Structure 1
């Protein structure tokens, strides 16, 4: 299969989906009304609630949800099952499930004054569902901060070329935010200046790599402490000063990287040499349900609902911007997932011919991991455009988005901590205290490496959050008497798939030759959580409970 044909078909498919299915959701379910003030306008506090221009908010949202997920997930799925099933799930899942989940999570949060999806669960399902959902989400967010901080610190230590652009983007973003929001500077001109400075920093990092002179252990500790300190400080700063502009600029890095990757693939048009289908069973488990868990962000991710119902809903200037930000960003992420799939299935070799051993997919995967595999494959696809600089640019592109997810996640954790525990422990309503509540345990898990104990459960738990969010959205639609089929069927599919993955993983953890009882019992707890929340949602769907009085006008 020619990779250029895959690129053309995918881009056309996602463009049609945005115009067709996204518009259908807008007209049938969302019904935007720009005369209604959004939380960003009504509750503007200059810190968390602050209206953003549509493209700047798109940049924030896309940067926050993209991260490493849509790159690492498809690469793992190709290695386990081949590229056929993976690409079908990305093309169909992102349009009919993932983008629906993201768009409606955002818009329902806007209806509820910017509250998070777990908090909204109390209004449309019940307090017990909200408490269980919130606790589970907090644990998930702490784990994400720990892992992303760990991965980012390791990357800074092993790839010194990315140090300067990683930290240099912070003052560049603050300069952009000050110019655009406080000096009425042209957004277009500000973007050009910021991108020029950023690409200068990327070039400077390539020419002047920054390595610390200590042992790997000490170097890692220094980078990790700096990253977590940055995340903590950034999470309490006004969104207009750092979060919005930093994510907006980072968004352009990824967009430019994607465009260069797509053009490079079109020029080189290598044949996909990986098999379409490897088999229903792999070392990672059966194709169903594990493929749908592994691809994650490339098709649907529960983390996206936390971003949409957390930071993004507090910055939406008018309701009609929601389709571009919520539905559109997920489709662009689908394009990124397709590109990631092609970097390893076409840019690298499943079985390398003589003289091309340096481009062997499995050898690179074993020695350098999926980030290195993406970088090498990307570099080969864009070689006519970027030459030997392609690999470093690909890794820098990916690294930029690990940073955006890090501080956004701490801010999301602060919001949910304030909602869940703030009423009984008032100090946790304080911005710094709420962020510390997330950062301290995340620091411990990441610094000590103990996150590894429960990290194998992250894929299933993340998709469980997506399934539960879809149930909350469906319950809301019941209350406002709008069609539920667009969210109910995806919710049923995702909860059955996630429960299947949890049962499979839990059985293996408990009954393998080397049982892991912590992970086994964690699987059982997650299954119980899913069943309880689904049971509560069932009462709404069968009209055993009337929620119309809790639905905002």
Structure 2
């Protein structure tokens, strides 16, 4: 229990200390107009309040990741707490803050445009394809996952196909309509369910004195799988997730002032870390240790853990609300995944989105592809998702490091976590069966060598960009209104 409570306390302290430090390094400009006002189009660029933006950001980034990931990560024991706390404060929240703020400075640009500007034009095409594929996978799986949970919650009384159709209908409306019409209005209610789910389970754990394991050498890591690099691909949301880099530009286009960025971007990542801590603790403590957790996961997957934990901690009615809160998480990430994909494609093709018809012809092919993908077994494809997710995080962190390097600011705050995860990404794909299947010792050597080469190329490109005075932000005086 002490490790769990200390971890949550550190996350909160991290927001007020390291978060403030990151904000100071970046250097907010209170007087600078934001895209929400300069490019207001009534669709994607719409000024919204800090509480509303914060809640939307949290629900955007918190899919099933901060629930299912930590539940799976609980198999590693209390070491999972370390990655959630350290990863969230020094990597994930930094990642989210920098991508959000740099996007604000650059007309609300998405990651492909930022990668093109700061890492080279070739990266625009690579990251664009990468991001759209990632968002399609996320959107599709975040149709299937909540549909399955709702089907179980309703005892199979409503066919899963009908539930999927209803979720798709919501996604289509949320993708096409202005951001403040559906997302801005429904998310406060969805947020209430999320709070009930996470806080209710957390209070239940403390009130019942759940035997949450403490960090020690005896139970540091009960699983036999290597911590490095697998843990960092098991727990992504709640610690570090590249998916967030596709979501923050949605809110960078609705943020009123740069000063609000720390609450919206850094703060909501901390909130997601707390959610991850709660579910990891519940999974570790309520199933008679590692063996019981492993058996239940094998029998029913993370969804079975969610249902069991919610009922134990909050009773039948409260448990149902808690499960609904977990159902909300993927839905509120799936809708913005499709919305982000639409915006990225529009940005890539330079197509204004004020007209409904312009949004429609870009979005509908995405949904058609997604419907087809729901019929395919994702067991193989989804294994690539975690790697693709963390590879995207590496790209975003290197964009942040490049921005700060050119600005002659402390770029290490982004380069260090980016370099660490770069080693993990290369090592994982070299060793994993979905990759090259090399022995772990060879994979480690390849990981360090590959990372060293890419980091050297980064410094070479950064020095050139600084010498050429690459502009860090769009000049507002030349900022054209959206047609």
| TM-score (structure 1 length as normaliser) | 0.78
Q: Among 384, 387, 392, which residue is 1:457 paired with?
A: 384
| 1:362 equivalent in structure 2 | 294
| 2:443 equivalent in structure 1 | none
| 2:82 equivalent in structure 1 | 88
Q: Among 488, 493, 509, which residue is 2:420 paired with?
A: 493
| 1:377 equivalent in structure 2 | 309
Alpha-carbon contact 2:200-2:322 (below 8 Å) kept: no
Query: Deviation of residue 548 (structure 1)?
Result: 2.6
User: Cα distance 1:90–1:347, how it changes in 2: closer, same or farther (>3 A)?
Assistant: same
Query: Deviation of residue 398 (structure 1)?
Result: 0.3
Moved more, 311-320 or 224-233: 224-233
CA distance in structure 2 between the aligned counterparts of 1:333 and 1:141, rounded to whole angstroms: 20
Q: How many equivalent residue pairs?
A: 461
CA distance in structure 2 between the aligned counterparts of 1:117 and 1:290, rounded to whole angstroms: 26
> In the alignment, is residue 306 of structure 1 matched against residue 246 of structure 2?
yes
RMSD after superposition: 2.8
CA distance in structure 2 between the aligned counterparts of 1:91 and 1:547, rounded to whole angstroms: 38
User: Cα distance 1:152–1:387, how it changes in 2: closer, same or farther (>3 A)?
Assistant: closer
Structure 1 stretches of 5 or more lacking a match?
A: 162-209, 213-218, 353-359, 513-526
Query: Deviation of residue 547 (structure 1)?
Result: 5.4
Q: Among 47, 51, 56, which residue is 1:51 paired with?
A: 47
CA distance in structure 1 between the aligned counterparts of 2:233 and 2:419, rounded to whole angstroms: 15
| 2:283 equivalent in structure 1 | 344
CA distance in structure 2 between the aligned counterparts of 1:89 and 1:351, rounded to whole angstroms: 18
Alpha-carbon contact 2:104-2:252 (below 8 Å) kept: yes
| TM-score (structure 2 length as normaliser) | 0.88
CA distance in structure 1 between the aligned counterparts of 2:172 and 2:456, rounded to whole angstroms: 37
Query: Deviation of residue 453 (structure 1)?
Result: 3.4
CA distance in structure 1 between the aligned counterparts of 2:145 and 2:122, rounded to whole angstroms: 35
User: Cα distance 1:367–1:505, how it changes in 2: closer, same or farther (>3 A)?
Assistant: same
> In the alignment, is residue 410 of structure 1 matched against residue 407 of structure 2?
no
SS at match of 2:181: helix
CA distance in structure 2 between the aligned counterparts of 1:90 and 1:544, rounded to whole angstroms: 34
Q: How does 1:84-483 map to 2 (within 5 A)?
A: 84-160=78-154, 211-212=157-158, 219-272=159-212, 276-278=219-221, 281-282=224-225, 286-309=226-249, 311-350=250-289, 360-380=292-312, 382=313, 386-422=314-350, 430-446=358-374, 448-483=375-410
SS at match of 1:300: coil
Query: Deviation of residue 345 (structure 1)?
Result: 0.9
CA distance in structure 2 between the aligned counterparts of 1:276 and 1:141, rounded to whole angstroms: 37
User: Cα distance 1:547–1:532, how it changes in 2: closer, same or farther (>3 A)?
Assistant: farther
Alpha-carbon contact 2:61-2:243 (below 8 Å) kept: yes
CA distance in structure 2 between the aligned counterparts of 1:351 and 1:325, rounded to whole angstroms: 36
User: Cα distance 1:421–1:531, how it changes in 2: closer, same or farther (>3 A)?
Assistant: farther
Query: Deviation of residue 532 (structure 1)?
Result: 10
CA distance in structure 2 between the aligned counterparts of 1:102 and 1:497, rounded to whole angstroms: 19
CA distance in structure 2 between the aligned counterparts of 1:292 and 1:61, rounded to whole angstroms: 23
SS at match of 1:235: helix
Alpha-carbon contact 1:478-1:484 (below 8 Å) kept: yes
Cα deviations by residue, 1:403-422 (Å, 9 ceiling, x for unpaired): 11111100000011112234
Query: Deviation of residue 379 (structure 1)?
Result: 3.0
CA distance in structure 2 between the aligned counterparts of 1:351 and 1:49, rounded to whole angstroms: 48
SS at match of 2:176: coil
SS at match of 2:143: helix
